[in-house]
Amino acid sequence: MGVDAMTLEQASVLRQRAGRLVAEVHHLEIIMLARDGLVRGSLIERPKFCGKAGCKCTRGQAHPSGLYLSRLEAGVARPRFIRAADREQVVRGAEAYHAFRTALRRWRAVSKELSELWDEIGKAREKEYPFPAPFLGGKDGVSGD
Ligand SMILES: [Zn+2]
């Protein structure tokens, strides 16, 4: 009886944990199912050097900061200047990209945790057969048939 009660309580705690993780997985999947385009890379703000002959930037005076999309190409970071006209779309795409990657990383971790949790829940829910003799005399006593 003590063992059964323990197992039931344990199963209930495991189920609550699983329920929270299932809800989180669902939330992450909604993020990953979105339709907007993803722009791979990191947004960085830095002074602009156009490098045109005779420009003040070639004498060390940078132009105002510009927004760049930096991404690894063959292992090397390649910042690319984002034109003003593309700025909004690139920023949105880069943010969506990061949201997607973050969600996917978390999804993998939660899925692994859930996979182990389902085994534990399965074990906690197992009943031995033959069933132990019913406890007689409690107020929830067995209904006779
Ligand atoms: Zn310049």
Identify the residue with better confidence: 138 or 53.
53
Residue with tokens 């339709």: 35
Q: Does a structural domain hold residue 104?
A: yes
Coil vs helix vs strand at 51 = coil
Of the chain, the percentage scoring pLDDT greater than 70 comes to: 90
pLDDT-based confidence at residue 7 (cuts at 50, 70, 90): confident
Kindly give the distance from the C-alpha atom of residue 95 to the centroid of ligand 1, in angstroms, as a whole number: 29
pLDDT tens profile 9-18: 888 999 999 9
| Interatomic CA distance for residues 15 and 121, integer angstroms | 7
Q: Does a structural domain hold residue 1?
A: no
Q: Does a structural domain hold residue 3?
A: no
Kindly give the distance from the C-alpha atom of residue 53 to the centroid of ligand 1, in angstroms, as a whole number: 8
Is residue 108 pLDDT above 60, yes or no?
yes
Predicted local confidence at residue 49, as pLDDT:
81
The token pair that represents 45 in the structure block: 């703000």
Q: Per the structure, how many domains does the chain have?
A: 1
Q: Does a structural domain hold residue 2?
A: no
Residue 119: domain span: 8-138
Q: Does a structural domain hold residue 94?
A: yes
DSSP state of 141: P
> Across-strand partners of 78?
71
Is residue 105 pLDDT above 60, yes or no?
yes
Kindly give the distance from the C-alpha atom of residue 44 to the centroid of ligand 1, in angstroms, as a whole number: 19
Kindly give the distance from the C-alpha atom of residue 40 to the centroid of ligand 1, in angstroms, as a whole number: 27
Kindly give the distance from the C-alpha atom of residue 57 to the centroid of ligand 1, in angstroms, as a whole number: 4
| Interatomic CA distance for residues 113 and 115, integer angstroms | 5
Kindly give the distance from the C-alpha atom of residue 84 to the centroid of ligand 1, in angstroms, as a whole number: 17
| Interatomic CA distance for residues 56 and 137, integer angstroms | 96
How many CB atoms are located within 10 Å of the residue 22 CB?
A: 13
Q: Does a structural domain hold residue 71?
A: yes
Per DSSP (E only), the strands in 74-131 are: 76-81
Q: Does a structural domain hold residue 133?
A: yes
pLDDT tens profile 36-87: 999 999 999 988 888 889 999 888 888 888 999 999 999 999 999 999 999 9
